[in-house]
């Protein structure tokens, strides 16, 4: 149980284009989903908290107009990187909460390479 | 600010015991979680301490002392497959996880 999927797993795009990443909870309903970014050999940095049916809450320093988050249902959240640039190249990981304190279930991540 | 400190790397041999320490300074702290991440993979949940004391799950144990803002992950009977990065993370108000910088564990034969 508690499986989270992400799509796509890999994406390569040209600078200036937008990329959408989907995060789905497959066997549970997640009222809250989280988006992280991880650069090589670094920690996971929380980008935003996404609650179903409401606007996402962004962490300090994360541009909400660049990283658009939509949480349309209890099983789906999307992250759109708008006008991507090479410095946006990173490993983007989502997680979902079942409501159990202390645990989040992570998706397999999406590697974004912007050329 | 919010921060978690843990050693950057640890090396041990197969069969040994290793302890990875974590000190934290966060607001809205509920408890301390531990995650394992293999190269190229996503983090995998290992344990959560919401109360002071020791939690044991198979070969892995985790400890928390709120008064000392300190916790550790103990890995016993190390296996080669345990080579990975280990992250402590504070579980905070709103369900947020704030991660430490990670400890790269290398298990040698």
- For residue range A57-92, list pLDDT tens digits in order: 999 999 999 999 998 888 999 999 999 999 999 999
Task: Give the residue among A38, A40, A55 at the shortest CA–CA distance from A95.
Answer: A38
Q: Which residue of B has its CA nearest to A109?
A: B42
pLDDT score at A1: 67
The model's confidence at residue A52, banded by pLDDT at 50, 70 and 90, is: confident
pLDDT in tens, A101-113: 778 899 999 999 9
Bin A108: left if φ > 0, else alpha if -120 < ψ < 50, else beta.
alpha
Q: What is the DSSP letter of B82?
A: G
Q: Do B95 and A97 touch (CB under 8 A)?
A: yes
Distance CA B92, CA B50 (A): 11
Burial label for B50, CB within 10 Å (0-12, 13-18, 19+), is middle
Q: Are strands B9-13 and B103-108 parallel, antiparallel or unpaired?
A: parallel
Q: How far is CA B82 from the centre of its chain?
A: 13
Is A97 at the interface with chain B, CB within 8 A? yes
pLDDT score at A41: 87
Q: Rounded to a whole number, what is the distance in Å from the CA of B86 to chain A's nearest CA?
A: 10
Q: Do B95 and A106 touch (CB under 8 A)?
A: no
Neighbours of A62 (CB within 10 A): 17
Q: Do B43 and A93 touch (CB under 8 A)?
A: yes
Averaged pLDDT for residues B13-20: 97
pLDDT in tens, B65-108: 999 999 999 999 999 999 999 999 999 888 889 999 999 999 99
In what side-by-side order are the strands of the sheet with A4-7? A4-7, A19-25, A76-81, A67-73
């Amino acid at each position: 149980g508690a499986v989270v999927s992400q799509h796509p797993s890999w994406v390569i795009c040209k600078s200036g284009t937008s990329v959408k990443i989907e995060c789905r909870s497959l066997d549970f309903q997640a009222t809250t989903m989280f988006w992280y970014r991880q650069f090589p050999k670094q920690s996971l940095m929380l980008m935003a908290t996404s609650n179903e049916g409401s606007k996402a809450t962004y962490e300090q320093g994360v541009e909400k107009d660049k990283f658009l988050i939509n949480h349309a249902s209890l099983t789906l959240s999307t992250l759109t990187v708008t006008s991507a640039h090479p410095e946006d190249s990173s490993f983007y990981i989502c997680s979902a909460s079942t409501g159990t304190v202390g645990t989040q279930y992570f998706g397999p991540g999406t590697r974004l390479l912007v050329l | 600010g919010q921060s978690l400190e843990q050693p950057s790397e640890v090396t041990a041999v197969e069969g040994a015991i290793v302890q990875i320490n974590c000190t934290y300074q966060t607001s809205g702290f509920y408890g301390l979680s531990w995650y394992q991440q293999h190269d190229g993979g996503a983090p995998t949940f290992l344990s959560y301490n919401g109360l002071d004391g020791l939690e044991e799950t198979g070969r892995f144990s985790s400890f928390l002392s709120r008064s000392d803002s300190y916790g550790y992950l103990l890995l016993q009977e190390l296996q080669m497959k345990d080579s990975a990065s280990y992250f402590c993370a504070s579980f905070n108000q709103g369900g947020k996880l704030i991660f430490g910088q990670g400890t790269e564990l290398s298990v040698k034969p």
